[in-house]
Structure 1
């Protein structure tokens, strides 16, 4: 167990729910944010079955610039739980991808992500969310991944990164990056397993009827 895992597991053991924040922005990929949202929410429910008296292991919230509806990819309207101004401190921060033109060019979004990542114990990106973390300098000299279509673009924009392909995610302890879209589910189950045990991650995957098995992660 890493020091990151020990910190997060210790908070749960002490009776505090882990706060999971998921960024939203215009043209965010739907499964990029919905997949992790589902994993952490179901994991909390499965953990509650084992210990009904305990607080939820995870409390999951979405965050955008304001509480106004966000138009995700394919026109899906999503109402965020928080705006940047009222978002709490998160223990786990998830930065999804999609068409990331807006967040990459929006100082308010970049400032919030930088601040939230600085406060979080663990930060993870899904798909092209890696471009957001890279622009903020959070991936310097790290091994990372992203959607297969965007591997070469990430290498070109950020030559200091070791960008790998053909892996579902890369685990570097307090910072993880995943490949595209559904890979965020795999990464989130891995995070659940790191913090609260592989058995709970397996139970979560089974409840979701998702074919998953723990695997070593490149990192």
Structure 2
């Protein structure tokens, strides 16, 4: 009798105008490479990764134009939802973006942010009292605006229950590799980092015990 194939974990990466390129493309590459590594081992691809935005096309920092796979209006369901960072001022003031994040948070088992993506999760009321982190330049501002949060310094990523946050830019790669480890196992995460020739700081994060609502854990 053949072994049933586990369904791929649906990973959504939220992007917006003035998103930081590596904040979204770094994690996208991690999950994509994890799929290639798994396929090369004769196994099924563990992730179905896509970018989602208010509009199909967004202009990233530096002028790079990105085309998302779907829009908020299409109502795609995810198992893991990661909010990229960048210049978030306009996105924080956009009711459609914030309302979508609030709705998505209620139906997504694992939530994550890279860099200033934490500001969007906090604006949406998803981050409230958790231990979190963000880019070192923005940690004081995050703490000032949401004093009930426990903003951590000197960690590449922080996990509190089912919510994961990371420092800026390249730290999102460390977080994404950790999410691969959580959902696909340490062996796959280590092989993915090796395939990417990335010096993964595997022990660079901190986890807080708490309820986790994910089928992949």
TM over 0.5: yes
Ranges in structure 1 where 5+ consecutive residues have no aligned partner:
1-12
> What TM-score do you get using the length of structure 2 for normalisation?
0.90
Matched position secondary structure for 1:218: strand
- Report Cα offsets for 1:110-165 as digits up to 9, x if no partner: 11111222211101000000011111121211100000000110011000001011
- Paired residue for 1:48? 39
Contact 2:157–2:175 (CA under 8 A) maintained in structure 1: yes
- Report Cα offsets for 1:184-219 as digits up to 9, x if no partner: 000010111112111110100111110114216323
- Paired residue for 2:138? 150
Ranges in structure 2 where 5+ consecutive residues have no aligned partner:
208-217
Q: In structure 1, which of residues 12, 17, 36 is the aligned counterpart of residue 27 of structure 2?
A: 36
Aligned structure 1 segments of 4 or more residues deviating by more than 3 angstroms:
none
CA distance in 1, matches of 2:137, 2:17: 20
Q: In structure 1, which of residues 16, 27, 38 is the aligned counterpart of residue 7 of structure 2?
A: 16
Residue 146 (structure 2) pairs with residue 194 (structure 1): no
- Paired residue for 2:108? 120
- Paired residue for 2:98? 110
- Paired residue for 2:192? 204
CA drift at 1:173: 3.1
CA distance in 1, matches of 2:204, 2:109: 21
Residue 43 (structure 2) pairs with residue 58 (structure 1): no
Matched position secondary structure for 1:85: helix
Aligned pairs, number: 204
**Which structure: greater helix fraction?**
1
Contact 1:23–1:96 (CA under 8 A) maintained in structure 2: yes
Contact 1:48–1:57 (CA under 8 A) maintained in structure 2: no
- Paired residue for 1:214? 202
Contact 2:143–2:149 (CA under 8 A) maintained in structure 1: yes
CA change 1:180–1:216 in 2 (3 A) is closer
CA distance in 2, matches of 1:152, 1:216: 20
CA distance in 2, matches of 1:86, 1:205: 33
- Report Cα offsets for 1:93-120 as digits up to 9, x if no partner: 0101100011100010111111222211
Matched position secondary structure for 1:170: strand
